[in-house]
Chain A
Amino acid sequence: MKKNYKVEVDCPNCALKMEEAAKKTAGVKEATLAFMTQKMKVEFEDNADVDAVMQEVVKNCKKTVSDGEIYL
C-alpha cells in the first residue's frame, strides 16, 4: 500500500536525511520525499499497520531532522 503525506522541511539535505530515516523504519518498503513538492510517498510492507508505522516514521525523522514536520 502506498500513501502520500504532506511534509514541511526547510533544506534539501534535511529532506534527503528524512527520506533515509523513513526508509529505515520497520514496515516501510520504500519512501520518497520530494523536497520540491513537500510531499512524502510511503510504500508499506504488505501486512504493516500503517498508523503504527507512521508514528515510528515521524519519530525517526524527528530524530534526524529536529525541525522537519510530517502531517499525518
Chain B
Amino acid sequence: MTKKQKVVLYRIILTVILLVAMVAADKVLGVENGYIRFGMYMIPYLVIGYDILKKAVLGIIHGEVFDENFLMAIATIGAMGLGEYLEGAAVMLFYQIGELFQSYAVGKSRKNIAALMDIRPDYANIEEDGQLVQVDPDEIAIGTIIVVQPGEKVAIDGVVVEGNATLNTSALTGESIPVEVAPGDSVISGSINMSGVLRIRTEKEFDESTVSKILELVENSAMKKAKTENFISKFARYYTPFVCYMALALAIGMPVIQLLINGTPEWKLWFIRALTILVISCPCALVISIPLSFFGGIGAASARGILVKGSNYMEVLADTNYVVCDKTGTLTEGVFRVNQINAAGEFNEETLLEVAALAEGFSNHPISKSLKEAYKGEIDLTRVTDLEEISGHGVIARVDGREVVAGNEKLMKKQNISYELPKAVGTIVYVAVDGEYAGHILIADVVKKNARQAVKRMKASGVKEVIMLTGDAQAIAESVAKEVGVDKVYSELLPAQKVERLEEILSGKQPKEMVAFVGDGINDAPVLSRADLGIAMGALGSDAAIEAADIVLMDDNPDKIITAIRIARKTLGIVRQNITFSLIVKFGCLFLGAIGLANMWMAIFADVGVMILAVLNAMRALRIR
C-alpha cells in the first residue's frame, strides 16, 4: 500500500470505531437533543469525508460540477440534512472503502502486469582493476566490455568476446529452449545467462538495446486506446450529467406533479430517491475495467513473446478473418538447405557433394554456404585451383586437378554440357566434372515444422482464408502452399506487387472483416503498414520490423499467430462482459432507485460492488493461456 492509501485505511478504521461508539451511545443514552445527535455523527462524517467535501468545493470553484466528489458530497449532505445521520456517514464510509479497494486493486494489478514484463536489467558489470563493478546500464558506452555472470541478465546488446554460456531468452520470446552462445555470437539484452561467465563487447547504447525498445513499446501500448475505450470515455462524459439531471428532475419534478394532481407532495421521499440515484452515477466501474482488461491481455500476450503495440490492435486481432502470410521466413525457415542430391555417372551422393562444396568453397553466396554446411567433411581449400566465379551463373574451378563446373542451367548451356532435368522444385546446382554431367543438388527453403499445424488451427478458429504471398517462382510457391495448406497463393510478386495484392484483398472483404499481414519484417514493411494489422515475426533484434509492425512476435513460430488471436478474443470477451454487466446493474439500480425499490445501500453496491467485480473480472485477462 502506498502512503496515501494507508492514511485512508486508518481513517476508515477510525470512522468505523467512531460510528459504532456513536450508535451505541445514541441507543443506550437515547440522546434527545437534536444538535448533540447531529454533532455526534458529524465527527465520523467529517473524519471520513473531509477530503471529498474539499474536492467537491474545489470542483465547483473550477467549474467541474459533475464529478463523483460533488455527487457524494451532495448525496451525503442531503442525507445529513434529512436527519439520516447514520446513513449519510455510512455512505461516505463505503464510498471511501470502495475507492481504497479500487486504488489498491488497480495498483496491484498494474504491478502484476509490470512484473510480467519486467525484463529491465538493473545493472551491468564492468571490470575495473581486476574487480567487477556494478554500473547503471545507461552509462555504458558502445564498445565497452561487460561481464555477465550466471544468473544475471544481459544488459546491453553485443557480441561475445570470451566465454561460453547457455542463455535463456524466455522473457523475450516466451520460448523456454535455451540458446548456446560462444565467442563471436551476438547476444540480445534481456536474455538471462544460465551458465558460464561471458564477456560481451557492447554494440549499442542501453536506450537502443532490444530490452529498452521492447519496454518502451509495451509501456506505450496503453496510450493507443481501443475503440471500446474511447466509447466508454465518451459515454462517461454524458452519463454522469444525465444522472444528475435525472436526480434533479426526480427531486423537484415528481413532488410538483404530485402537488398538481392531488395537492400532497412527498418532498422528502423523492429527495431521498434522488440522492440514491446520485450515488449510482459514478461511471468508475466501466471506466476502470476496460483499460485494465486490455492491459491484462497485452500483459498475457507479452509473457508469451507477443508484443502488442496498443489496445486498438487487440480489437483488430480479435476480428481478423483473413491472414495474409509472406512465405520466406514466415511459413518457411528462410534458410536454404541441401534437400536432395542426385548423383550421376561415377559419382555418388557424397563425392558429388564434396566436389561441389570444394568448388564453391571460396564463395560466400547463400547457396555455396548451404553446400558447405551440408558437406560434413573438412573443406581443404588447397585442393582448389584455377577458380573462376561467373556472376549469375556459378563457378568453374579445378578440384584435385579435375575441372569442376558448378552452377545453374545457364552455366550448363554455356559450357555445352547435357544435363538431366530434375523433378523437384527449388534452386538447383548442376555439377559437371571434366565436361561430363555428374549430377545435381537441390537446395530449397524448408517449411517450418509447425507451419501446417498453425494454418490448420487458424482455419479451425474461424479465420476465413489464409493467403500466401511470395516473390518466389510459381513452382516453388505452389509446392510450399500445398505442403502448408494455405487457401490461396500469389507468386512471383515484386514488393510493390505484394502491396497491390493486399489492396485487392482489402477491397474484396466486408468492412467489418480484418486483414492481418504476417511477415518477417525484411523488405515487407510497406505491406505490414498497409494491412489492417501488421504482424512481424522473428523480430528479435530487428529494429525495422519492430518499428513497422503493430504486433511483434519475438520468435519465428507461426503458431504464435493463433495464440495472439486467441488472447485477443478472450480479452475482448472480458471487455464485453464488463461493459454489459456494469451497464445492466447500473441502469437496473437507477430504475429501482427512481421507483423507490433500491435504497442507499443498494446504490453503494451498484457503485462499489460492480466496480470490484469488474476489476476482478478484468484481472482474468492476465491469466489467459
Contacts and interface: CB of A to CB of B under 8 A. Distances in A.
Contacts of A11: 68, 99, 102-103, 284, 288
B102 A36 contact: no
Contacts of A13: 67-68, 236, 282-284, 287-288
Interface stretch (B40-48, B220-228, B248-256): B220-228
Contacts of A38: 110
Contacts of A12: 106, 284, 287-288, 291
Nearest to A60: B62
Contact of B67 (A17, A35, A37, A41): A17
Contacts of B68: 11, 13
A66 B284 contact: no
Contacts of B291: 12, 34-36
Interface in B182-237: 219-220, 222-223, 225, 233, 236
Contact of A37 (B54, B222, B283): B222
A17 B64 contact: yes
A13 B55 CA distance: 15
Contacts of B287: 12-13, 16
Contacts of A63: 62, 64
B284 A41 contact: no
Nearest to B69: A66
B257 interface: no
B223 A41 contact: yes
Contacts of A66: 54-55, 58-59
A64 interface: yes
A34 B223 contact: yes
B236 A67 contact: no
Interface in A29-69: 32, 34-39, 41, 63-64, 66-67
Interface string B88-107: 00000000000100110010
Nearest to B232: A16
A36 B284 contact: no
Nearest to B283: A13
A11 B64 CA distance: 16
B292 interface: yes
Q: Is the interface of B mostly helix, strand, loop or mixed?
A: helix
Given A12-B287, A13-B236, A39 B62 contact: no
B430 interface: no
A16 B233 contact: yes
A44 to B, nearest CB: 16
Nearest to B4: A10
A34 B311 CA distance: 11
Contacts of B292: 36
B110 A36 contact: yes
Contacts of A67: 51, 55
Contact of A32 (B219, B225, B295): B225
A61 B62 CA distance: 11
Interface string B291-321: 1100100000000000000000000000000
B58 A36 contact: no
Q: Which of A36, A41, A67 has the most CB of B within 10 A?
A: A36
A49 B4 CA distance: 34
B349 to A, nearest CB: 59
B99 A10 contact: yes
A17 B106 CA distance: 18
Nearest to B218: A37
Given A12-B291, A32-B225, A37 B284 contact: no
A54 B51 CA distance: 27
B234 to A, nearest CB: 10
B238 to A, nearest CB: 13
B55 A64 contact: no
Nearest to A40: B223
Nearest to B220: A41
Contacts of B283: 13
Interface string A17-29: 1000000000000
A34 B309 CA distance: 13
A16 B225 CA distance: 12
Nearest to B62: A63
A64 B222 contact: no
A54 B283 CA distance: 29
Nearest to A63: B62
Contacts of B54: 66
A50 B505 CA distance: 44
A38 B62 CA distance: 24
B102 A64 contact: no
B283 to A, nearest CB: 6
Contacts of A10: 4, 99, 103
Interface string B424-442: 0000000000000000000
Contact of A64 (B4, B64, B220, B288): B64
B295 A36 contact: yes
Contacts of B223: 32, 34, 39, 41
Nearest to A35: B291
A13 B295 CA distance: 17
A41 B54 CA distance: 29
Nearest to A15: B287
A21 to B, nearest CB: 9
21 contacts: A10-B99, A11-B102, A11-B103, A11-B284, A12-B291, A13-B68, A13-B283, A13-B284, A14-B67, A16-B233, A17-B64, A17-B67, A32-B223, A32-B225, A34-B220, A34-B223, A36-B291, A36-B295, A63-B64, A64-B64, A66-B59
The 4 tightest CB contacts between A and B, nearest first, are A34-B222, A63-B62, A12-B288, A12-B287
Given A13-B236, A67-B55, 12 more contacts: A11-B99, A12-B287, A13-B67, A13-B68, A13-B282, A13-B284, A16-B287, A32-B225, A36-B291, A39-B222, A41-B220, A63-B64
